[in-house]
Each structure stands twice: as C-alpha cells, then as structure tokens.
Amino acid sequence: MGRIVCFGELLLRLTAPGRELLLQTARLDVHVGGAEANVAIGLARLGHETAMVSRVPDNALGEAAIGHLRRYGVAADGVAAGPGRMGLYFLSPGAGLRPSDILYDRAQSSFALAGPEDFDWGVLLAGADQLHLSGITPALGRRSAEAAVAAAEAARGAGLLVSFDGNYRAQLWEQWDGDPKAILGRLVGQADILFGNHRDISLLLGQSFSGEGEERRREAAEAMFAAFPQLKLIASTARHVVDADTHRIAARVDAPEGAAQTGEVVVPGIIDRIGAGDAFAAGILHGLRSGLDLDGIVRAGLALTCLKHSLAGDASLFGRRDILAFLAGELDVRR
C-alpha cells in the first residue's frame, strides 16, 4: 500500500486546566491539533504510513507543530512555512451539565492564507494511494476552499482513494460569505468515503429524512449514494450525552450493498472528547486498509473513538493491540 496523505491546518489548542473556564486562572495547557493531523497521527500509531500537507509560520510554534507530527511517525515534508501566523483555538472543557466551549482564532493563519497555487499535488501525492481531507479547510475562507477542491480533484484524477469528513463548523462558515452546501458538495463529489451522519447529508442534499435511528440513517445513506454514485462507504457515529463525564456512543457504516451497526457503548469518566471523531475516522480507515468486512470496520472505528475519550489531547495514540483489547472487553491491568 502507498501512504495516506492528510491535508488541513495544523493548530495549537489552548485549554483551560482541569474543568476551569478560560482564564479563570492565568494558565492554559497547550496541545497540537487539527482534524486531519489527528487522523494522520491515529493511523500512524496503527502502523500505516501517513504524511501531512499543510502550512505553518516560520517560527517556534510552526516548528513545534511539525515536531509533534514527526514524534508520532507522520511524514512532515509536505508541511511548508509561509506568511501569516499559527492558527489557534481555545477550549473550556465541560463539567457536569455544562458543555465544553470552543473559541476559534484562525484568521490570517499561514494555512488560511495559502491557496491552490501553493500546493504541487503532483509532488505531494507521489507514492500515495489515498488523500484524506475535511470540511474544516473550506470553511476557513475562499482560498482555503479552492485549495481543498484542487487537492481532491488532483487526487481523484490520479486514481487515489479520497476520504472526506464533513466536519461542519458553523462558527467558521459564518465568518465569510461562502456557500457550504455547494462547496461541500463539490468535495463530496470527489470522495469515495464520507464521514457524516443524516444531519450532514440533509445539509448537502437539502432534504430531511423520516423515521428514527437505523432506518433514518439508511434512508439518508441511500439518498447520498443516489446523488453521489462514486461513494463506496459512509461512516457515522451516534452520540447521546448524559453529562460531560458520560456519553453513549454507537457507530455505523453504510455501503450501497448493505450496512453494519454497533450497539451503544457507555463511555464513562471522560478525560477529553475533542478529536474523538478524528479517532473514529482513523479506526474506520484502519479497518478498510486491513481488509476487514463491514462489521469489522465499524467495530474498529467504535473502539478507537471510545478509547480516545480516555486520553488528553487532540489525537488518538492507540495501537492495534488496544483496539483488540477493547473489543475483547479487557478492563483489568495488562501485565
């Protein structure tokens, strides 16, 4: 297999310590983040060859982000320095019945300033068999949207598998006059694999779906396969929030010929839910690249997303053994 190239913005996440509000005390914890980077790291930790394509400033912050990728086995030759600043986001973790809250500070970042002419996809996709990107990149602005579309079209034109995570971020889209339905539709039109649920599909197709639970998700998936016949797989999770510490999560994959759905897993004692969707994407892609059937693929995705809740930071750092242990129900100390 070739490498998996992930395209998106590298960020710094500044988090209030413990369960505090932002600047309740004059301290912030720092993690390197970014949806696509999280997928690259998650897959690298599972033994897959991954590479990141991005832009960062030529300073200590950009260097730290690149070092973070390399620390976990992600090739960073495609991360170049450019004008602008490091993108940031601030997190106030939830507690009890108070939800987590995110504040973005990404305007004029090195990545947001880059356009399609800044990426030589003939070089950047050499040796790759898959491109992964998400709807966060086009939400950053017109140039980022053009860059995302160019990346997806180049990958599809080169015969690579394209995976796309909808990752709709209303706060980002509201900052410019973009048309998310049209732009995301162009990206999905290049994709083989879509990460998104019935709400994402409703946005893309401009229609609602009847029924409940599995029935509604299948109806939405079938409508998506009809509208985008090149799609081979749609993967999604369903999350029920009990409180900030306890969620119930199920996972599902749909293919044109059938589907697989897990039962709900109770995830207690949550340390950090940020990046759980990216961990799910990494688990699904791991299952696909490992040759698993639909049931095996969805169980791998569920395992990795549930495990991510136990780990501080944006990315999953778990390996294959951890997935197997989770699926086997191992909870005692491993000696």
**So which residues are the catalytic ones?**
278
Burial 214-248 (b: 16+ CB within 10 A, else e): eeebbebbebbbeebeebbbbbbbbbeeeebbebe
Facing residues of 243 across strands?
A: 246
Please give the C-alpha separations between residue 304 and each of 150, 278, 292, in angstroms, as whole numbers. 30, 9, 15
SS3 76: strand
Token pair listed for 171: 């706060």
Contact 62, 68 (CB under 8 A): no
Contact 218, 261 (CB under 8 A): no
Please give the C-alpha separations between residue 197 and each of 160, 208, 324, in angstroms, as whole numbers. 24, 12, 26
